[in-house]
Amino acid sequence: MKAKEFIVEYKKNRRAPKFNIKPRTGHAPTQTGAGEHRDKKKEQKQGHEKHKGKAVEEASALEKFRKAAAEREKKHDDIEAKRQANAKQGKEDMKGAIDRLEKHLGGK
């Protein structure tokens, strides 16, 4: 019985050790999580940008399409000009057409 009393008395005088999960610092705690929702488009219209660096103007899809179409048209015009020049000199290249015709007719 004395051992039990001794243990009970020991537990009464003993305090549980204190420990902090987060160490205390001298500044306010930082906010965690995503925070409140901000309307980025609205802020951008008002002139607020997160990173103000060099503004690189990116061409829109329509401008890219028009540029590519102009390049294709220029290339086509060059090919057509060469074909017409050869036709004037009597050097028409019918080899491709003849090969397709032979393939279609089951020749060679």
CA trace torsion 34, 36, 41, 45 (10° rounding): -130
| Residue 88 reports pLDDT greater than 90 | no
Of 29-33, 88-92, 93-97, give the lowest mean pLDDT range.
29-33
Whole-model pTM?
Answer: 0.33
CA distance to 1, 6, 93, 94, 97, per residue, from 104 (Å): 113, 110, 19, 15, 11
pLDDT digits (tens, 9 = 90+) for 45-81: 887 777 666 666 777 889 999 999 999 999 999 999 9
CB 86 within 8 A of CB 92: yes
pLDDT digits (tens, 9 = 90+) for 1-24: 677 887 777 777 766 666 666 666
Give the Cα separation of 72 and 66 in Å (integer): 10
Q: Half-sphere exposure (CA, 13 Å, Cβ side) for 58? A: 2
